[in-house]
Amino acid sequence: MSTAYTRRYVLAARPATTTEPLEDGVLRYEDHAPVPALRDGQVSVKVKWLSLDVATRGWMNDVRNYLPPAPLGEAMRALGAGVVTESRYPGLAAGDRVSGLLGWQEDAVVEGSTLRKVPDGVPLQAALHVLGISGQTAWLGLHDIGQPQPGETVVVTAAAGAVGSLAVQLAVAAGARVVGVAGTPEKCDLVRSLGAVGCVNYRSQDVEAAIAELASDRVDVVFDNVGGAVLDALLPHLAVNARVVLCGAVSRYDRGGPVPLRNWFHLLPNRVRMEGFIYMDHADRFDEIEADLLPRVRAGELRCQEHVIDGLKAAPEGIQVLLNGSNNGKVLVKLCD
């Protein structure tokens, strides 16, 4: 059997910091990397889309971040979606559309048991946002922890992002009054178009004052994708028995260090529950959640704006776009055919 070759980015070295742009030498582009031969239980996948997430940047460093660091010398770890080209795994056949940890490469050889089939009737890349990490994350955080009741007020931060925009739509569908927080007027327009009653631009507005007005000073649920100063500004406006969903802390990554929470003590008199979660812990529930999301995706009731990076070679630029918040929606890499 002749050796096949692929293009890929290998994680060649750890970045010096967790927050700065990637130095030369961290990622090494290879345009003639051998594809390993298929063993029993494995499948070959032609990768079509990669998901870029804040966690992707975290995995490059040698720090614990709910998964071990991405291994050096291998294709950089990432979720992806593609089409099976060859299978030695009974549950999958050539032509099947799948998603999973495919890595920054055009051809992946992975254990078939780690992949999920992408349902019919949706674009392949939906498996990376509304039916994948973003949708599962928004659903788990909002419904398991946030538990918004009809008429309650839900504040979503980074509300124009992939997870945030889906959390907004799910909360609106649950009958909540939703207020978004985002960083540009365009993002705020998007958030309002998803059904939010208002959206605070944290770069130009006083978040505390704006929330006090928009949320009538009574926030029942915070779905937080940011951490730091914006989260801190929301805490004084929590209602009794409020829930704070800790879903992400982008601000930790791009500011060089953790931002302290000064207003945490509001949690006590208001009997607030603040809880972190990681969507991967709940893999046993993905089918159930997908079954809830799928008809709404097919009906066009749940949408996710895509910020598409063209071609594997440009993937590192996507990481920077994500960290500086200049993306509009879910950051995806579209691989060339």
For 26-50, letters b (16+ CB in 10 Å) and e give bbeeeeebebeebeeebbbbbbbbb
Q: Which one, 32 or 64, has the nearer CB to its own copies?
A: 64
- Closer Cβ to its own copies, 81 or 221, answer by number: 221
Nearer to its own copies, 4 or 229 (CB): 229
Shortest spacing between CB 142 and its own copies, in angstroms: 16
User: Is the CB of 41 or the CB of 276 nearer to its own copies?
Assistant: 276
Nearer to its own copies, 10 or 250 (CB): 250
Q: Which residues contact 92 (CB under 8 A, 6 or more apart)?
A: 43, 84, 98, 112, 115, 117
Question: Smallest distance from the beta carbon of 40 to its own copies, in angstroms?
Answer: 33
In angstroms, give the least distance from the CB of 334 to its own copies: 30
Decide whether 145 or 294 has the Cβ nearer to its own copies: 145
| 54/181 with CB nearer its own copies | 54
Between 250 and 293, name the residue whose CB sits nearer to its own copies.
250
Q: What is the dihedral of CA 106, 111, 117, 118, to 10 degrees?
A: -20
Token pair 């066009």: residue: 300
Least Cβ distance, residue 242 to its own copies (angstroms): 10
Rule CB under 8 A: which residues touch its own copies? 64-66, 227, 246-249, 252, 258, 260-265, 267-278, 281
Smallest gap from Cβ 286 to its own copies, in A, equals 17
- CA triple 312-315-321, angle to 5 deg: 150
Using CA atoms, how far residue 287 sits from 116, 118, 127, 310, in Å, is 10, 11, 12, 30
Report the alpha-carbon distance of residue 246 to residue 48 in Å, rounded.
31
Q: How far is CA 108 from CA 13, 38, 74, 232, 242, in A?
A: 21, 10, 11, 42, 44
Q: CB 231 → its own copies: shortest distance, Å?
A: 9
Per the DSSP assignment, residues forming a β-bridge with 230 are none
Torsion of CA 274, 225, 181, 237, to 10 degrees: 10
* 48 within 8 A of 124, measured Cβ to Cβ: yes
CB of 64 to its own copies, least distance (A): 7
Minimum CB separation of residue 315 from its own copies in Å reads: 24
Dist CA 219 CA 180 (whole Å): 12
